[in-house]
Amino acid sequence: MNLDIKLIKTPQELQSLLSKVEESGVKSCNCSLQRCPGWDSMSDSMWPKEQLTLLATLRDSSVDEPTFEEYQPKAVRFDDPNALISVEHFPYNRCDIFACSQCSQAVMRYTEYGGYYIDHRARRVRSDQIIQNLDTP
């Protein structure tokens, strides 16, 4: 992990990061990020790396094995576009946060590993879905 990348530890830090990205203004863009509202598969060939900036990470390098526990009090799977974002839970605790230089869209990306495959997944970040306190989603 790049030590210069900010580690986001709290929902408030994530909210603050997003507000800075949103302040830069959203312009029209046709990047592939527009099609990933809920942890969609995003191959390297579709990932618009030339126009993305790595902003921060939610992956704490001091934790050997982050939890696979999901936090979805409304019985919505983590990959549902309406799933809540809990920085402490899977898959958010295993992702990096990027922003598109064209449209200022913030997106999270993590890699899912299983058996014989590697699946890069991306999700656009919506600030209204971030859980500020686990007691009050």
Q: Is residue 8 a part of any domain in this protein?
A: no
Is residue 110 in some structural domain?
yes
Q: By the 8 A CB rule, do 39 and 78 touch?
A: yes
What is the tally of structural domains in the chain?
1
Give mean pLDDT, residues 86-91. Answer: 90
- C-beta separation of 3 from 60 below 8 A: no
How high is the pLDDT of residue 137?
44
Residue-wise pLDDT tens digits, 10-61: 999 999 998 887 766 556 777 777 778 888 888 888 888 898 999 999 998 8
* Residue 87 in domain: yes
Query: Do the domain assignments include residue 98?
Result: yes
pLDDT reading at 3 higher than 60: no
Any domain includes 122: yes
Question: For residues 106 and 97, is the Cβ–Cβ distance under 8 A?
Answer: yes
Does any domain span residue 19?
Answer: no
Q: How much is the pLDDT for 97?
A: 95
Residue 114 within a domain: yes
- 33 by Cβ neighbours in 10 Å (0-12 / 13-18 / 19+) ranks as buried
104 in Cβ contact with 21 (< 8 Å): yes
**Domain assignment of residue 2, yes or no:** no
Domain limits at 90? Answer: 27-129
Q: Respond yes or no on whether the N-terminal peptide bond of residue 91 is cis (omega within 30° of 0).
A: yes
Distance CA 20, CA 91 (A): 23
The reply to whether the predicted model has a pTM over 0.95 is no
Q: Which residues fall within 8 angstroms of residue 34, CB to CB, at 6 or more apart?
A: 103, 105, 124
